Structure 1
C-alpha cells in the first residue's frame, strides 16, 4: 500500500487531473492532500467537487489550508474577508456562480470536516504550513499555526547541516516525527520547481498558485510527478500575484 502526498492546488483542476493521471493508485493506497484547494485559478469550486467525488473511490485525507479556512468562512457567513478577496478569493467566489445553495452547503461541510493535520501509522506528519510547539502538534496552542506558520520550514532550511539528531542543538520540533510533509510556502520562492527537503521536512508546494506546478510524491520512494505549469493550462488567466 502506497501513500502519496499532493501539494497545493489553488483552483487548478486541469493540473490536478493531469498529475493524478500520472500515478497508478491501487486499492488500499492513500492520497494525502496538504491543503489550499481554492484561490488562484478559475476552477476552485470545481476542484472541491472533484475531490469530494474522488474520496468516494479512493482513500483520501484532506488537510485544511489557510485559503480553505477563508473559503469556509465565506461559505458559512457570506462575509468577504478583504485579505482573502485580494489573494484569490475573488476567483473562488466567481467559480461558485453556477453552484446551487445545496451544493455550497455540501462544500461547507467538506471544509468543516477537514483535519488540521494527519499522522499516519509510520509516524509521518502531514500539515499545511507547520507548528510552533517544541512538544509536537498535539501540544500546539494556536490552531492558526497549522495553516499559517512558516517558521518550521525556515528553521529546517537554515539549520547547520552538520547538526545531528541527538545533539543538544537539534530542534526538538523535528524529533517527534519520522518525516514532516508541508505545503504553504512555494518552493519556487527558492528558485526550485520541485519538492524540496530540509532534514526530515519535505515541502511539496511547487508554486501552483503562481507560475509553478502541482506535484504528487510517493512518500516511501520519493518519486514525484508534476503537472504542466499552471499558466500554460489557463493561458487567459493571471493566477495569483501575491502569496
Structure 2
C-alpha cells in the first residue's frame, strides 16, 4: 500500500482530482493522510468531501476551517455573530453556497469532519497535525485549539531553519503540518518545505498557489495547476479573480 499526504485544498476539488490523477492514486488500495481544511474557499467543498469519502484508506485530520464548518452546521455558531461573519469572509460563504443557502450539510460529510482527529501518529512514528504543537508537552496534552490554530510551532522552527540553526524533535520520525502556506513565508517556496524532520504541506492552494500531494515514503511530490486558474472567475479567499488579475473580464 502506497501512502500519500496532502493538505488545505479549501474547496478546490479540481485541484484535488489533478493531484490524485498525477500520482495515480488508487482509492481502494492506497492510503491518504489529509491534514485538514478540505472546506472553505473555492466553490466545490461538497464535491471534495464526496471524493474523500470514496477513499477506502483515508485518515482525515481536523483543520481550523473544518471546526468552523462543524460549528456552523451543528448550530453552535448561531449565537456567535462575529465568529460567523469572520468565517463567512474567510471562505465559509463558498461552503454554504456549495451546499445551498439554508440547506444542511449531508450527514456523512458532517460526520467525516466531526470525527476528524486533532492529530495522528502512524505505527512507524510519523506525526500529522494541522497547525503544529507545543514540543514541551506530550502531544496528547496539547490543547486542541492550539493543534489546529496556533502558528507558533511553524514560526519557531522556520526561524531556526532560515538562520541555519540546528534543531531536533526527538519524539517523532517525521512531522507533517498544514495550515501555514509555504508561500506566506517565502513567495518562491511553491512546493512543500522540508525543515529537518518537519514537512510543511500547505502550498497556498487557498490563495495563489497550487495543491501538493507527496508520497510519504519516496518523498516524490505532484502538484495541481495554480488553483485560482482552475476557478478563474471566483475570488476564493484572494478577494480577486484570476481573470481580473490578468486583465480579462469576459468569464
Q: Taking structure 2 as the reference length, what is the TM-score of the superposition?
A: 0.85
Quick one: distance in 1 between partners of 2:97 and 2:173? 41
Partner of 1:171: none
Aligned-residue Cα RMSD (Å) equals: 1.9
For residues 24 and 39 of structure 1, do their structure 2 counterparts lie closer, same or farther at Cα, with a shift above 3 Å needed?
A: same
Tell me the SS of whatever aligns to 2:175.
Answer: strand
Quick one: distance in 2 between partners of 1:154 and 1:181? 15
Quick one: distance in 1 between partners of 2:196 and 2:50? 35
Partner of 2:249: none
After the TM superposition, which segments of 4 or more aligned residues of structure 1 sit over 2 Å from their partners? Answer: 24-29, 98-101, 103-106, 160-165
Quick one: distance in 2 between partners of 1:83 and 1:225? 32
Tell me the SS of whatever aligns to 2:112.
Answer: helix
Quick one: distance in 2 between partners of 1:213 and 1:44? 17
Partner of 2:178: 183
Task: Please list the CA deviations of residues 180-199 of structure 1 after superposition, one character each: whole Å capped at 9, or x if unmatched.
Answer: 00100001111111000112
> 1:133: how far off?
4.4
Cα pair 1:156 1:199 within 8 Å, conserved: no
| Residue ranges of structure 1 left out of the alignment (5+ in a row) | 166-173
> 1:158: how far off?
1.2
Partner of 2:67: 69
Quick one: distance in 2 between partners of 1:32 and 1:164? 26
Q: Taking structure 1 as the reference length, what is the TM-score of the superposition?
A: 0.88
Quick one: distance in 1 between partners of 2:107 and 2:57? 23
- Paired positions, count: 229
Partner of 1:161: 164
Partner of 2:199: 202
Of 69, 91, 95, the residue aligned with 2:98 is 95
The 10-residue stretch of structure 1 (8-17 or 233-242) with the greater mean CA deviation from structure 2: 233-242
